[in-house]
Structure 1
């Protein structure tokens, strides 16, 4: 079944008033399910044209505010609001919100590969609360846009700028009042993605270091996993040694919080010589998620 289409985004953007970005789209509900792999993070742990009115003065031409199509039975209307006009953000969140309603959990998980599968399963359960939050003006702090829901069962929706820039943003969802933060599940998924790249099987062809950096930026003196009080640039040691890895055991990924923003993740890998070894990754959490700063054998 095709998605009913709203007035064109160009028309909607032309109708923005008071810095509020509004995008609406009719949505269809999905019904499939995902079978997890125990022991890993994959467990369940006809466009409308805006009319114009011309007055007796030729120069005075006004576009009528476009009206979104009426949802069909079983469909929902989605509104993505922003405190200031941002067509890229509105489009990226609208595309995802449409999929949230129409795709099966397995297909949505595949599209939201930047998130840990476990988070896709747990964060996207209350679709009504998510859509309600998106209808409230989202606030941009430069690194992410945050939508705060209100009322009983409200949620907070956070979309990273790096995801918005790709044209499709899978946001993170938290219980209203909770402080948005990254956790060990995110750290393990960062290592999973990096190892998948190393063995030549990225979770998605678009998952590249140039557009989705997973290594900590070199040069910035902000690396201090031992709490010495004297931060240095992330050493990025051990990354070259990963080049001889042929495969890794996803079920072996385990994590430990070191201190504050630092997490250690261990993974069992197999080298090109067929030798099974353990690699330990040290990661740091920042505004965009976890980055890998060092790897040891």
Structure 2
């Protein structure tokens, strides 16, 4: 996500679960190599395929040294490995987004070389045209895979983000997470309830049902990841249609999502 005005819009858009927008927060400044990260919450498994060797110096973030360090680890890989390796490394992002957002490593590297800005839910680097934003959960892992988007974009999360959030949650439910580190405690996917949950626009509000009972998909034994389809609702929420297998029968579940502090989060499941 003048820069001050854009940042203000981004922060305001992400205040709660039922709102759209981009989050921003904390980071350190050490370089990592292409070996496995040693932090307790690794966001990825750094790639090893060589592409180029252009050095990148990530701009410091006043008051938040951990942010620059976490992005530095990612930036080093961005300029030295190929896209397929980055897809494997940045498993918290939909592969389709990694292919598009990270397609021009040199341009992205030039953006992150500028000083970073600490925000409410994410830390951002910008050159006035492109913004690179790393969420707090990514920074906390020690290896931050950021979103790259045009400057001034308020709602930069896409339907691909929503589908992938649902896919990750379902993969956890069937015991086959996209990465062994993908756990709710480290990478939250359930909406925290910062805003009243009201996808139908009734005005009733309340907490997201999944926050109150996270077992709504525990009976799912399998699902079709390539058949997940996201649709925006008039209320600003998103619903993902998910073909699932329960007790040997193929059923369809509707998963309702909203934008929260860590991007799209799940709040409710309907039969």
TM-score bucket of the superposed structures, by smaller chain: 0.7 to 0.9
Contact 2:54 2:80 in 1 (8 A): no
Q: Match of 1:296?
A: 270
User: Partner of 1:292: helix, strand, or coil?
Assistant: strand
Deviations along 1:234-275, one digit per CA (max 9) or x if unpaired, are 12288524222111111210011013531000111112x211
Cα distance in 2 for residues equivalent to 1:172 and 1:224 = 27
Which of 249, 254, 257 is equivalent to 2:224?
Answer: 249
Q: Match of 2:105?
A: 127
Q: Which moved further from structure 2: 102-111 or 235-244?
A: 235-244
Deviations along 1:6-40, one digit per CA (max 9) or x if unpaired, are xxxxxxxxxxxxxxx87679999845xxxxxxxxx
User: Partner of 1:244: helix, strand, or coil?
Assistant: coil
Deviations along 1:58-92, one digit per CA (max 9) or x if unpaired, are xxxxxxxxxxxxxxxx5212111134143321211
Contact 2:29 2:67 in 1 (8 A): no
Contact 2:244 2:250 in 1 (8 A): yes
| Max Rg structure | 1
Q: Match of 1:279?
A: 253
Which of 137, 142, 147 is equivalent to 2:125?
Answer: 147
What number of residue pairs does the alignment pair up? Answer: 230
Q: Match of 1:162?
A: 137
Q: Match of 2:79?
A: 101
Give the gaps of 5 or more residues in structure 1: 1-20, 32-73
The 1:97/1:222 distance shift into structure 2, 3 A limit, reads same
User: Partner of 1:208: helix, strand, or coil?
Assistant: coil
- TM-score, length-scaled by structure 2: 0.77
Taking only aligned residues, the RMSD between alpha carbons, in angstroms, comes to 2.4
Cα distance in 2 for residues equivalent to 1:250 and 1:93 = 29
Relative contact order, CA 8 A, sep 6+: which one is greater?
2
Instruction: Please list, as runs of the form range in 1=range in 2, the aligned pairs for 1:179-258 lying within 5 A after superposition.
Output: 179=154, 181-217=156-192, 220-236=194-210, 239-258=214-233
TM-fit CA distance, 1:176: 3.1
Cα distance in 2 for residues equivalent to 1:260 and 1:270 = 29
TM-fit CA distance, 1:182: 1.1
Contact 1:239 1:294 in 2 (8 A): no
Q: Which moved further from structure 2: 80-89 or 125-134?
A: 80-89
Give the gaps of 5 or more residues in structure 2: 1-27, 35-47
Cα distance in 2 for residues equivalent to 1:118 and 1:290 = 16
TM-fit CA distance, 1:286: 2.1
**Could you say which structure has the higher helix fraction?**
2
Q: Match of 2:92?
A: 114
Contact 1:215 1:292 in 2 (8 A): yes
- TM-score, length-scaled by structure 1: 0.71
Contact 1:284 1:293 in 2 (8 A): yes
